[in-house]
Structure 1
Amino acid sequence: MTATHPPRRRFLRTLVAGMLALPLVLGACGGDDSGGDDGKTELSFFWWGGEARAELTAKALDLYTAKHPDVTFKKTWQANQGYFDKLATLTAGDDAPDIFQIDDNFLSEYATRNVTLDLTSYQSDGKLDTTKFPEGLWKYGVVDGKLAGLAFGENTQGLVYNKSKLEAAKQPLPKTGMSWEEHIAWAQKAGPATGLAGTQDPSADYKAFWVWLRQQGKEMYNGNQLGFTAADVQAWFELWKGARDGKATPSADVIHEGNQTDITKQLVVTNKALTSWVWANQMPELQKNTKDELGVVAYPGDASKQWPRASMYFSVFRGTEHKDIAVDVINFLANDPEAGKILGTDRGLPSNLDVRASVAASTDNASMKQTIAAIDELSKNYGPSPSVPPRGHSTVRSELIKAAEEAQYGRATPAQAAEQFFAASQAAVSR
């Protein structure tokens, strides 16, 4: 998306979606006229998430106010669904929140529209401290040479497996460094021994496809273009057709259940497969949904092709009248040890490694400790991060699911499904 206005129909759809939420959003995020004669500043702060995240975020912001009594917040949060419709409406009207949460599906889009404040100068003069961040993590917020968002949690791809079922059946556990073919062969043996399908089929999972591409010397994207060919997609789909034919995976209907984004529907916790392909920081939430003990390792293949992904960011609105204060707020949330303990790992592992170590030492949540330890271990093998995905990435993700399921259900050959996905993806990033 460029800085020009969207087509009229799309603009009207976005406007209507936003108008449905005017009482909520405008009441909390609208306007920047809160700096009064009393010297007080009120910043609007907008994020998505559940009630637990809302409570933690509010507590962390209250801590900032306790330390800076002249700064208060208008706090607005909601579920993920519809969040970006509301944000699009606000930014289209130049009425965005001072600070807002964003992820890598939309960071490039908002940065290239000049919605986000370039944080580079604040980083250079130390007002935004990233010295304790993994370098690849903060760099994952750079778009066209500008720091568009501050990474607010580290994450990486994780293959989560049912440790209890495997140990009970005296089956070997999956290990980091297994090849893709070795993983499939492992699943073919471990599945029948445990009475479950060996592995969820990840051919619809963009994370798995992206890691596999990097292991082939390719990228998901080269700048604003695709970094792969239709032949690459076909090879990926054929790999998993072979796994399905060899009974390493469950049936297409069960695979479809696992393709859903709801963490409670992942096959590793519904006892329909021994593995699920997720973000490693989802381990605590997965563990809450099963009595079995879970483990996590890297995706198959060369683990150095995984990277420290920013699970989400906080960005500052370029048009805010309180740039310096807004930047100080996100710097505080990322680097203050007390704020870090409040926020925990809800948005991923704390970006500041010292804060992360403090959280790990202070938490009594066993699965949270396991997740921090696992990602820290995986990070020893990290290679360079790719560029932030370009506009159209969210469409590419959904088109991969569509095409992969065509192949999974046998409605299309791997070659036909690959052509479908490649054409749709090219259109998405070129719009």
Structure 2
Amino acid sequence: MTAPRLMRGLMAAVIALPLALLGACGGDDNSSSDGKTELTFFWWGGEARAKLTEQALALYTQKHPDVTFKTTWQANQGYFDKLATLTAGSDAPDIFQIDDNYLAEYATRNVTLDLTSYKDSGKVDVSKFPEGLWKYGVVDNKLAGLAMGENTQGLVFNKTKLEAAKQELPKTGISWADFITWAQKAGAATKIPGTQDPSADYKAFWVWLRQNGKDLYNGNQLAFTKDDVQKWFELWKGARDTKATPTADVIHEGNATDITKQLVVTNKALTSWVWANQMPDIQKNTKDELAVVAYPGDPSAQWARASMYFSVYRGSKDKDKAVDVINFLANDPEAAKILGTDRGLPSNLDNRTAVAATVTDPAMKASIALEDELVKKFGPAPSVPPKGHSTVKSELIKAAEAAQFGTATPDKAAEQFFAAAQAAVAG
């Protein structure tokens, strides 16, 4: 076993310990002699997010002088290993940022505070949230995290190159078959493959499943079959065979790279499959004009996804104050103006309208316009992915690439992925 895998295994085992064995939480010594409370706050992101978050917390302290913050942040890489360590030790944060890849894992291990009673009493106000958005924080009938932003899947395309080649632009609602035909034609006209092959992308697979009456999960079980996976892999083998996509080595680049080097940026494909709120980061890395539409097929298969959450540590000695902080960050209009769209479109719809009116970045405007268009078409949100979801994602990449490189047939690759995914959610 490699060192990183061993460390992840150890961390998973540690956070599974009962809370009674976890030691002192980050709030043990929060109250000082002068009556002030210091809350610990941990998140991932870049320097820009750190600056905005610090400003919003300073606003809270300005309005609540008895509460101050000890903040820690880092890049996404290694964040969840660090969070596991903090949660297991004597320095667990009172408030921490989390996403749907890990929310169920932490909730089922009783790390996150159940916010349901706070919601019912109005201390966590979700009255201005889209219903599906706040419910996307519910795990086993407990509200494990408060959504801090809304997002959805987005197909980003190179508008400049398509218009220069006099090619039709992709539109929301195009069928998968017609999209692949379009990609083949556009690629032939521009000499750039029409689309990244998304067979390794769980977001695309998930939307496709929902459009076909299935889902990715049903509670803690898979909601699709091995045959569904095979059909998905065969769909994209057909696209590769017609040169609608790049070759396998380039597809791998798109699977492995960060958001700033997606194939639509490096001019190795005309479209990339991302989250819609990533448009500004992608646009910064190319001089060409990009645009965004929904994934192919019926857009009602998409949903209001919580781009990320704030959760309160169940062992915090200052739960009520920590809850008030996350409610403030989600609902206070001044805080919303500070935080802007950094974590996605504001969950509070009134705040979203106010923030959207101040946005000047064309790429973010495009993302907001897509969300505004789709909010009327969104279907119900699925349940939060269960424990093991991060492994399911990585196993999909592994199996899809086996099919892409031709080391396995779609049938065998599907069999490989389905078995690994079953083991992941059962483990």
Asked if Structure 1 and Structure 2 have the same fold, meaning a TM-score greater than 0.5 normalized by the shorter chain, the answer is yes
Match of 2:220 among 213, 221, 224: 224
Distance in 2 between residues matched to 1:261 and 1:131, nearest whole Å: 38
Match of 1:14 among 11, 22, 28: 11
> How much does 1:95 deviate?
4.1
Match of 2:278 among 279, 282, 295: 282
Partner of 1:413: 409
Partner of 1:266: 262
> How much does 1:364 deviate?
2.1
Partner of 1:205: 201
What does the per-residue CA deviation read over 1:263-286, in whole Å, with 9 as the maximum and x for residues that have no partner? 122111111111000000001111
Distance in 2 between residues matched to 1:270 and 1:210, nearest whole Å: 26
Residue 69 (structure 2) pairs with residue 73 (structure 1): yes
Partner of 2:331: 335
**Which consecutive unaligned segments of at least 5 residues does structure 2 have?**
1-5, 16-22
Distance in 2 between residues matched to 1:354 and 1:199, nearest whole Å: 36
Match of 1:398 among 394, 397, 414: 394
> How much does 1:52 deviate?
1.1
Contact kept, 8 Å, 1:35 with 1:41, in 2: the verdict is yes
Distance in 1 between residues matched to 2:12 and 2:216, nearest whole Å: 32
Partner of 2:19: none
Distance in 1 between residues matched to 2:79 and 2:195, nearest whole Å: 33
What does the per-residue CA deviation read over 1:349-371, in whole Å, with 9 as the maximum and x for residues that have no partner? 11111111111111222222221
Contact kept, 8 Å, 1:209 with 1:236, in 2: the verdict is yes
Distance in 2 between residues matched to 1:30 and 1:261, nearest whole Å: 35
Aligned pairs, how many? 414
> How much does 1:36 deviate?
2.0
Distance in 1 between residues matched to 2:243 and 2:405, nearest whole Å: 14
Partner of 2:300: 304
Partner of 2:357: 361
Contact kept, 8 Å, 2:36 with 2:67, in 1: the verdict is yes
Alignment of 1:57-72 (within 5 A): 57-72=53-68
Using the aligned pairs only, state the percent identity. Answer: 77
The 1:12–1:415 alpha-carbon spacing in structure 2 relative to 1, beyond 3 Å, is closer
Partner of 1:170: 166
What does the per-residue CA deviation read over 1:161-214, in whole Å, with 9 as the maximum and x for residues that have no partner? 111111111110001111100000001111111121011100000000000001
Task: Supply the AA of the counterpart residue of 1:393.
Answer: H
> How much does 1:31 deviate?
4.7
Residue 426 (structure 2) pairs with residue 430 (structure 1): yes
**Which consecutive unaligned segments of at least 5 residues does structure 1 have?**
1-8, 19-25
Residue 120 (structure 2) pairs with residue 118 (structure 1): no
**Farther-moved stretch of structure 1 (347-356 vs 391-400):** 347-356
Residue 150 (structure 2) pairs with residue 154 (structure 1): yes
Task: Supply the AA of the counterpart residue of 1:223.
Answer: G
Match of 1:181 among 177, 202, 214: 177
SS state at 1:312 partner:
strand
Residue 190 (structure 2) pairs with residue 194 (structure 1): yes
Distance in 2 between residues matched to 1:120 and 1:13, nearest whole Å: 31
The TM-score normalised by the length of structure 1 is 0.93
The 1:282–1:10 alpha-carbon spacing in structure 2 relative to 1, beyond 3 Å, is closer
Contact kept, 8 Å, 1:17 with 1:86, in 2: the verdict is no
SS state at 1:383 partner:
coil
What does the per-residue CA deviation read over 1:212-250, in whole Å, with 9 as the maximum and x for residues that have no partner? 001111110111011111110000000000000011001
What does the per-residue CA deviation read over 1:315-342, in whole Å, with 9 as the maximum and x for residues that have no partner? 0011111111111100111111111111
The TM-score normalised by the length of structure 2 is 0.94
Partner of 1:21: none
SS state at 1:153 partner:
strand
What does the per-residue CA deviation read over 1:146-173, in whole Å, with 9 as the maximum and x for residues that have no partner? 1000011100000011111111111100
Q: After TM superposition, where is structure 1 displaced by more than 6 Å over at least 4 residues in a row?
A: 9-12, 15-18
Residue 403 (structure 2) pairs with residue 381 (structure 1): no
Distance in 2 between residues matched to 1:150 and 1:15, nearest whole Å: 23
SS state at 1:151 partner:
strand
SS state at 1:175 partner:
coil
> How much does 1:91 deviate?
1.8
> How much does 1:294 deviate?
0.8
